[in-house]
Structure 1
């Protein structure tokens, strides 16, 4: 399996993968930099109005919605780039002719998708810390909440990752899978806004922050653990279903 992963890395080195991996966290951090710098008075009023215990807590809340939209899009584009390496070069016949099971090929590419997005949220985590330090946040860094926000996002996006990867691997036209992923990311925001639909998995990324706005102000997210467990179980199931389908499909 290690040799397969190494071979996949050599293929990915020639792609635009790293641009996509870094684009979303850097864009969100750039927005926060502008927001906290040029709207300082407005931000201070919101911090007081929302009853935030620190600027770190407000930062987590403020970027959760934007990152909750951007990260599923990043997962969609990353899955497309990884799958399209074979589609674009018409390399499936050569890849599948090797004495390696299709399931292992599928899983190796999905592992690289997971590694790529893990790197993305890690950049976002340390980017937030760096941003807070240069802006002079005086309070102690809430590492548990920040780690929960970043890597919790990775888990709640797992079902979307698995589904989008399945689409990208089985359908050659990547415009279709990207369109589905874009619509799903936007739908997630609308689903999260209503009590009747907020438990749909598409709505989890925009609700996966450890901090939410309640009637009494910003506080802990009581549904955070449930979102993680459901997403993990559903994501693993979709990866298994996708790998099984890919192993049986006739790939051109």
Structure 2
């Protein structure tokens, strides 16, 4: 049943600009660092000569939490607007499918789209490093994957919360405004307590024990998912 609901949601997003957004985030980050290293190539390669790949990843990592929070917010809002703009909630919820299943399908599709964006970021980082002439034999494969998916795990509570708010409200002003605020706030993660979820996407990369914050993001995402699904199941969203 989940497969059929997810397949239906997948068809609905065609031509809605979501895929453009999925590609825009990683391409924008990589283009920015390509320009950064291109303009200051001699200076940066000298500064990071002991670990060229590490220097590139460190420069990218500063902007990944912002991109994840903002990108996740916009994807959630656009995904919810597919139903809001078509006024199709009554028809959708009249089908022999539980509201919880509908919520989970929307969440899974949102997470898949963000995961594709993270995969593009990791793959694009390798391509950018090769273009810059970094030695491929020194490529830190685990770190390249972690810069996309580690921070992604840390951002799961924010993304899940954004989908909950976006699905529950026809007016997207509040969810989008909150998402922009959280995105800006994530830029100051270094000044936040490690117990504050907004710092987890950054700490999932920079902390000595990143797995702690990756795990915390996964667990907190589930904790937000449960009340979100219950609220959606009981709320009249039609």
- Report the TM-score, using the length of structure 2 for normalisation: 0.95
- Over the residues paired in the alignment, what is the CA RMSD in angstroms? 1.3
Number of aligned residue pairs: 236
Q: Kindly indicate whether residue 195 of structure 2 is the aligned counterpart of residue 193 of structure 1.
A: no
Q: How does 1:69-84 map to 2 (within 5 A)?
A: 69-84=66-81
Alignment partner of 1:159 out of 157, 160, 169: 157
In the alignment, the residues of structure 2 paired with residue 46 and residue 235 of structure 1 have an alpha-carbon distance, to the nearest angstrom, of 38
Q: Is the CA contact (8 Å cut-off) linking 1:72 and 1:205 kept in structure 2?
A: no
Aligned partner of 1:9 in structure 2 is 10
Q: Which runs of 4+ in 1 moved over 2 A?
A: 196-199
2:236 is equivalent to residue 240 of structure 1: no
Q: Is the 8 A contact 2:70 2:180 kept in 1?
A: yes
* Cα shift readout 1:37-56 (whole Å, capped 9, x = no counterpart): 111133134326xxxx4211
The aligned residue for residue 116 of structure 2 is 119
Report the 3-state secondary structure (helix = DSSP H, G, I; strand = E; otherwise coil) of the residue aligned with 1:193: helix
The CA deviation string for residues 80-116 of structure 1, in whole angstroms up to 9 with x for no partner, is: 1111111111111111111100000000010000110
Secondary structure of the residue aligned to 2:7 is helix
1: distance between equivalents of 2:76 and 2:82?
Answer: 10
1:68/1:207 contact within 8 Å kept: no
2:207 aligned with 1:206, yes or no?
A: no
Query: 1:240, CA displacement in angstroms?
Result: 1.5
Where does structure 2 lack aligned partners over 5 or more consecutive residues?
none
Whole-angstrom CA distance in 1 between matches of 2:133 and 2:48 = 15
Q: Could you list the runs of 5+ residues in structure 1 that have no partner in the other structure? A: 213-220
For residues 153-179 of structure 1, what are the alpha-carbon distances to aligned partners after superposition, in whole Å with 9 as ceiling and x for unaligned? 221111011100001010111122111
CA distance in structure 2 between the aligned counterparts of 1:135 and 1:47, rounded to whole angstroms: 13
How many angstroms apart in 2 are the aligned matches of 1:46 and 1:67? Answer: 22
Distance (Å, rounded) in 1 between the aligned partners of 2:84 and 2:43: 49
Deviations 1:215-238 (A, max 9, x none): xxxxxx313111111111110111
1:132 maps to 2:118: no
Greater shift in the superposed pair: 39-48 or 221-230: 39-48
